[in-house]
Amino acid sequence: MIVAVGCDHNGLTIKDAVRRELEARGITVRDLTPPLPANGVDYPDVAADVARAVAAGDADRGVLVCGTGQGMSIAANKVPGIRAAVCSEPYSARMSREDNDANVLCMGGRTIGLGAALEILNVWLNVTPSSEDRHVRRRGKIATLEEHRP
């Protein structure tokens, strides 16, 4: 598996821990984090790079970290094919995979600690999407929304 990761200035500690954890598991990591100058970087730029890598098939999944995870998620979800989920606890991480087939995990460097982030990551990596009809149908409706953008 290849996982693209990226963060802004508020997500560096968690992003680095995620990267180390992925590498320790033998997962190939593409770190698309740009240089982080003192005045910070714009999270939509990082989200776009990671989301496009996943959408293009250059990475199987993505992990994005900013202050809250929200801005990264909002931006990443603008890229067709991306289902980015903000997760702050393991239950949401599980359901984002099982029900929503989330392909990008977003977390907040200012909202959760390192231990929680790694637990969320562990769940998110290991849960496979449900193949139950209702979930497949609902995901299909999300894809249809993308096809009919005004």
- Choosing from 15, 19, 43, 50, the residue that interacts with ligand RB5 (CB under 6 A) is 43
Smallest separation, CB 77 to ligand RB5 (Å): 13
Instruction: Give the 3-state secondary structure of residue 69.
Output: coil
Please give the Cα distance from 149 to 29 (Å, whole number): 32
67 binds ligand RB5 (CB under 6 A): yes
Q: Where are the beta strands (DSSP E) in the chain?
A: 2-7, 28-31, 61-66, 84-86, 104-108
Q: What is the footprint of ligand RB5 within residues 69-108 (CB under 6 A)?
A: 70-71
Smallest separation, CB 12 to ligand RB5 (Å): 11
Please give the Cα distance from 61 to 84 (Å, whole number): 10
122 binds ligand RB5 (CB under 6 A): no
Of 109, 9, 17, which is closest to residue 67 (Cα–Cα)?
Answer: 109
**Stretches 17-25, 48-56, 66-74, 130-138: which one binds ligand RB5 (CB under 6 A)?**
66-74
Residues found near ligand RB5 in the complex (CB under 6 A): 8, 10, 43, 66-68, 70-71
